[in-house]
Structure 1
Amino acid sequence: MSYIDDTSKYDMVKNSGDEIISSRDWITNGVLDNANNWLIENGTEGDINDISSDISIGEYNSYVLGSEGQKSIILNSTSYSDWQPYNKTLDPLTPDDYGVDSTGCWVSHIWNDNGGSDQTPIIYFINNVTLDHSLEDYQILSASLDVNVVATVENNVDTPTDSYCIPFSSPLNQRDSYDYCRFSAEISDLDVDVLNTYEVGANQTETLGEEATSNYSLDDPLYIKGEQAIINALTNVLSADPGHKTFTILLGIYIHSADNWNSYDIDEYTNLGFDYLNLTFTYEKIIDQSTSIKLYQDTGSISDDISNNGFSSYNYYIINLARFNFSYQVEPYWPSASLNSEVRISLNNGTNYVSRKLNLAGTSFSDVSLNLIDLISGKDDIEVSIEVYIADEFDLNETIEVSIDNISFEIEYTIYFDDYSTLLEVDIDGQAYDGAVYVPVMRELDIVVKYLNDTSGHISDADVVLKGDAVGDLNENVGLEQYEITINTTDDLRLGSNTIIIEASKKNYELNDTTIIIIVEPISAEITGNSSNFVNDQIEASTNAPEFVQLYLNDTDNNLPIIGATVTYTGGLGNGIFTDPDNNGIYNATITSNSDGYYSITVSAVVGPDYYFPDYQFAINSTTPSNSTADLTIYLNNDIMPDVSGYLSIPSMRNVNITAVFLNETSGESIFGATVTLKDEESRFIGYLVWDSGHYTIEIDTSDDLDLAQNPLTVSAIAIYFPLSEIAFIIDVQPIQTEIALYNTNISVIEINTGGSAFIEVILNDTDNNLLIYDAVITYIWEFGTGVLIDLDSDGVYNTTILNIPEGSHIITISAITQGDYAFLDFELLISAIPPSGVDPMLYIIITAILGLAVIGLGIYFAIYQKILKYPPTVRKIRKLKGKIGKGKKPKSIDFSNRTSYIKDIYEDNKISAVPVSYKSEIKK
């Protein structure tokens, strides 16, 4: 096994086989359902008491253990018992009397110049404080001290402004010093070590006992130094305590009685003391820098993973992806005093890591994805560590919970190894390839390739292609375990030798190729005589008589006719061309010899480079026939020629059967094997009359084969030993005769009342064939306009209604047109409109005028109808739709209805019948 991360090395060996092992999660139990597969370990630096962790409720939780506290030491009427007098000096100079009771800490003292008590006594009152826990890892954040001092003295306590040492008795004559009291507050350790005792407040009296102001008492707060001085004092004394939780508060009273008269002085201090004290301070936990705790797991080795993926041997591998993912959150928040703290991800206890800052985490889980590609380089066995690391020292008043979940570690790598060996087998048209293959053009060639591994197993999903003179991709036949392609020797190859390379490849398999040679040969073809007059490639012909020659071009490789060839002949009877009128591979020509003789004819054919035609030779032996005579008779539609002029008149759209009887006048027998042709007046060939039971016949269509006019035609017949016989005749193709007639009546005059309506029904009859004509356009015209007769039922009966006909006689002229060779004559109908009897002439004139306007309106209606309304609503909508689409407009949706029913509805609404009309009689169609 070898790991490579040097790109240059990779470039040198990149042509070897490779396999990408898709990324997977290497972490077991990444959702932390329990503590299985995970280990937890504290770091070796910082303070292990500052952090702890566990796995619970599906999360890994690290607890940064912050806390806070507050302590108050009180002196009042209920807490005085915590205090006691204390003399911290070696000199036992204490006041006359002192003590502690509900009034606080107090002192009483009298100094007498006649040998009384001490001039400078001092006493302390202490309170030894023990905290609930050590403050070694805590920071005091705030502190306050309130002390109240009380004092009562007599007027013999001397102050700088006094006149008498003893009022009204002894003058004040020693002024170097005066009487005063000093009150103090100190913080110290339990030993009250002078080096570890800090005064945090003090007052010294100056005017207490002043005569002029009668200032003989006070009740004032003690002057206290700043908060920081108190914090510093507490911090220092707690640091000196081995347990970091005990200290002493001292309240001191010092009395200074000066000798202010040279004979006798007395100072009386009735009451000095402290009646109230409150020392309160707060503190928070100190979180030490470099404190850490980690969660880790041994995820296994890459070499084992490679083996598990089925690779027993390989050259090396390259890591493509190493991505570590997790979700984390912080509650309640991460403090700004430690912005450098982070979650570190490392491998195998390495000093390198990638990280995500804790201050970026919110109070809900957020996803983190880190690239470990630089950390994993060169490693096989992998241990992943997730470490919560405190990078800054800071104070913390509460516990912060760092939660981590959804841990995953994706690794993707590529294994490089030697390509697997392969084998290639090629079959062409079911035969193993063994040298050049010869095939004709226009053939399908099946190429089958087997791409096999070193155990002769099929290699699936490979790329197998043709290169060289033929290109293409082979398709895999999974069932047969092979690759296949069919090529066309005409479309995919060229005539001659074709070199084709078959190349098979698949990722991690050895590329294999082989070369095959395919030689494409032209199609073998032949020309043979096909008409009945050929006998052993020879035709017996009559001199000066056209001889019909028919050849067949055959693809002998595929046994198929060859069409589209250019076929020519040369020889003693000149040069010419054979044609294939029916595109069936049968080529025809008519060859005439003008003199007796034996003539050799050579036929050549060309149809392109894919065919090889050897020339075909045949002979025509031309002789002058003996004195045999022949008789030619023509029948048209099974009737002998109607008159000597050879004239036949026939309507268009009819078939004409032309039959020729060609008899040997000597024997009276029909002549077999004759060439009988039909040509027009310009000798253009129309067709051959075909032998049929003793005669020759052809059938032509007057519409397709002839013109609507007189058509001069000639039938020619010739046979060996018989001279050419011809008969000319004319077929006159006439238009089909028609008539327009009233339907179901022979009366051509319609009588109606003035202003009435006339219903007209006509039929259009093909009189030549006794058939009705459908789909015609029939119109009428009269002095008041035009109109259209409509065949609503598609039964050949056309009708219309003419409305509001004015007084008088009116000729209605009806005309018809339709497709086909029809001749139409107009039909005239007379309509007589007579005023009804008993009608007021003036009223009738008015009515007639109104009706006249109605006629005009109706004329406008029919004009609109011809333009628009003859289309039903749906059709009109479709036409409108078409127009909109043509203009690029968006059409609306439409509904469909029936056009015929729509016109019928209009007809029924407007029909006024003046002449009774019976039902239709039987019409012969």
Structure 2
Amino acid sequence: MMKKSYKTKRFSYFIIITFALLTNFFIVSFFITQKVFDYNQNNEKNGIYDLAPKSQGVIQESHTVEWLDNPTFSPPIDPWYNTTQGDASDVNFSTSQDQANYIINGEKLTKEVILNSTTQSEWRAFNRTELVILPNLGYGDGDGCYLGHDWNEDSGGQPYNTPRMHWRINVSMPDMSDYIITSASFNAVINATVNQDIDTPGDTQARWDPDRPLDQWVIYDYAQFYVEISDLDINELNTYRIAFNQTRTLGNDGPPTTNYEMEGNIDIKTIQAIIDAINNVLAVDPGHNNFTIVLGISMYCEDNYGGNDRDQWEDLRFKSLNLTLTYEKKIDQNTEASWNQEGNTISGSNIDIINATLNFKYKIDKNWTISSPNSEFRVYINNRVHTETVKLSNANTSFQDIKVGGFDVTSLILKDINISLSIQVYIADTFALNQTFMLSIDNASLLITYRESIIESETKLDLFLEGLNKTLEKSIEVTMNNQVNITAIYKDQANIFIQNASVQLGGLGAPKNLTENISLEHYNITIHTSNLQIGNNFLTIFASKKYYESIEILINIKVLERETDLQLFLDSNNKTLDKSIQMIYGNSGNITVTYKDKELEPNIHITGAVVNLTGLGSPENLIEVPILEHYTFIINTADLGLGNTFLTIDAQKENYTSQSIRFKIEVLERNSYIDKVFLNQTESFGIEIPWNETLNIATTYNDSATDIFIDNALVQLTGIGISENFTENNPFNYSLNFNSQNLELGVNFLTISAQKENYTLASRIITITVLERTTYFDIYINNS
């Protein structure tokens, strides 16, 4: 029974101890977890500095292989093949003399359209509508496109006064969507013979037989000649007039001379307008290869006599016409011509592509046209374009390397897929090409260097900054103009120091090597913060050695501005704490500050700082006095005005903390006083005077600080019912003439007050005793 009790107690003790241990474990785990959580939340010291993952693997063997077959394009051309994207008519391919060729198809052609006695029959007369009045003397003959018309008001009347006729010829071209018209010439000769009955400005006869005077007119008689470009349907929306003439004096009876005949070139629009018209019509033609030239002659016969006018147009014609177009092959933008080859694959997880260099030679049979300066050679590997291109304008007539040393195409080489290559001529512009160009390539080479790898030994890198272990934190704060010691310990997983490694610091220009200390088992370098900038400076430490993992970490050296101290002195009094002073208006005040480096003991004056005073309108610079180690500024209180003015001084210099101090200057009025008072030229503050006598009062008003007379002040005499202004007698005094009848008999207390802006008010009390005037009377008895 006792034994069982003992076992029960031991079991109870076990339960209690186990519970206590588990409780402690969970409490410790909670605080550790919380600490790690707080560390991760509140520090920028975890994770973000792991710049790059460690790359395990060492080189076992390297290989450099020519990846292309038939690099010299020897016949048969296989495995090379060509492809085209874009307008296939722009390019072609060939091979010759162990080279592959790209042919850019250029061409220059001419089209001529002629109207003369030989070709007149090709021009067909027509009118756009059946409602047109036809010329009644015929149209068309062997000498050109002709018409004649006799309008006689006696026969048919007014409706026949607007005849017209058109001729057309259809012009066929190649598909002009593949060509560009580069130049054009156009001329047409028109000819006319008319009867004297044609009425023009200045004529007096509307009809000669019988004699009829010209008694009504608005615009007279005229003929119009015009040439138009249109589509085959003569659609008005696609019709463009390129030449036009309207007669004005044809048919004039003089004097001094008559004008019944004319011949000359028709007036044409600009050559560019003619080209634009043809291009516009070709653009809407279904085959882009047809347009129509339309010739037109119209007449207007105005009724210039009230009864029976007559107008005889004997012969109007297009005698000849010549339209010559020069057009060149249009090379379309984004046309691509490529020679291609698909090669073998590089496979294996232990294979690393080290380098791939592509090179080939190229030439051109003649200098490339300046019309397409952007066309170029492009290279695609596995359908990914290489960033470097070569303009066709760089090509010579003899073979040269596409680039000295070739293109570095390492980033384009992929494993586990067939490596394909396209050497492409890319047309980057739309332009006209008047001749064929041939570009050739030869000696194509794609050299690929790769290596097989094995697992490297795992490594780690401990970091110490200024002797402090910063392996986790990877950052430190340092004040400007101090040194920073950086120590790295590069070791393997067994914590054994790795000797003879390459440990470099990057981010300060060229990488800097850390110095190995074998006895202390670390790599070390000391840098100066003058080589850094204020704020965060992210640097990299890269450690590597063959057969060991390379490690790259990002560290942050946060450079702080040097602490500074700014002291304020106003009129030589230290006002850093209370920041205020009173000054008298009109006086100058001295503002002085000291700006010192607090990082040094004793604090050192900071030279060359920018110290500005603001609050006076535009900022003012304080002048540095190096010998006195301060910055100073003289201020005129007149620039401030009376009352409180708040000013601010800002001091700053690169790499030092900026300081600012705001202070107040209270400007007080200047003290003044009334010096002397003269009553009837006698210095006194009181006088007795009979009633109705004039009293002269004079006084002086002075500056208390300088005893100088104050001019332009307001000086007044006031009392009960009295307010008089003194007159200034600069620079002597102010005076007033005053009659005693304005006062009461007896004693009168009056005040002389003087004031001026920015000065205190000064006053004096004077007494004027007004006496009754002395009188007497004479007594006369019996007038004596």
| TM value normalised by structure 2 | 0.49
Instruction: Give the TM-score normalised by structure 1.
Output: 0.42
Bigger Rg over Cα: 1
**Which structure is richer in relative contact order (CA contacts within 8 A, separation 6 or more)?**
2
